[in-house]
Amino acid sequence: MGTTAFLPTATVVRMAWALTGKFSNDELSNTMANLVEDQLKRIEEMSRKPGSDPRETSYVSCAITTLRASMRSLENAYKGRELNFAENAKIREIYMQQVEDNLKFGSSAKDFFKSLPSMTIASAGGLTLMELSGLDGPVKWAIALVLLAVGYLVNLVIVRQSRRRIQMLYVRQDFDRDMYYDQYINRVTSILHGLFLDLERIHERIFGENYEKEITRLPEIVKDILKGVLSPMCPYASKHKNEDKITPELWAFCESGNPEATKYCPFWEGKKPEKIRAD
């Protein structure tokens, strides 16, 4: 009977999460992952020193092997997230190109209407449409102004619609990335749960008992490990996004999940916090 003195279950799970930093290009994350790698090597060496408890030697070896296996799954989850992000960026580029094409069309339409008053017909010896029409000066100027106004309005409508589409495009991209990120965190949570249970089984087999006496605390322990990276997004964001209720003006409320923002969100479906009275 007894427990390990080197690698408590929760510690190994925390190490696994820290080791995912080596998948990133972030310098600090890589540094933390390297520190954990060095610590694991030292622990393994200490467990194999002459006179060490053979149970400890066996447990540390099995625990580290199990940790390495879980890292493979964590790496696949990370690469899946990065692939989703890359595909999301490509889709945004396509939509942006469509918006740019609309803007070019609006500009071309404006230029077309501006040019109508002075368009010439080659067979008529260079005479303009206005001259061929036999209209007097004031009428021609009135028609020219109308055409200019039409061109301006066409361009204005397209520009405004395109700007709104760009805003909604960024909202959509943010939302999609948040969904992919949540999927990644859910996969990581599942992998860490499995690692935790595997370590407990190994510990029980070698030491005769679980390290974590209350195994029902498993979700709580893993959630505590990941609490700093969990998405704060509003729980109703997906529902309201599908209902087309989310606007660029409201998106900050949705994405931040700030409880204070629920006071001002017109679509919040939960209980609104009470406003503090200033007496």
Q: List alpha helices for 208-227, DSSP H.
A: 218-226
Q: In degrees to the nearest 10, what's the CA dihedral of 222, 227, 232, 238? A: -10
Structural domain spans, the chain: 9-231, 232-279
Q: What is the pTM of this model?
A: 0.74
d(CA 17, CA 15): 5
The one-digit pLDDT tens for each residue of the chain (279 residues) are 689 999 999 999 999 999 999 998 899 999 999 999 999 999 999 999 999 999 999 999 999 999 999 999 999 999 999 999 998 888 777 666 665 655 555 455 445 444 544 444 333 444 444 454 554 556 555 655 565 565 556 555 656 666 777 777 888 888 999 999 999 999 999 999 999 999 999 999 999 999 988 777 788 889 899 988 988 889 899 999 989 899 888 888 898 888 887 888 889 887 765 554 444
Distance of CA 119 to the CA centre of its chain: 52
Q: What's the distance, Cα to Cα, between the start and end of the chain in Å?
A: 62
Quick one: which of 91, 92, 109 has its CA closest to 158? Answer: 109
Q: Supply 53's token pair.
A: 């408890």
d(CA 120, CA 138): 20
Residues in the chain, total:
279
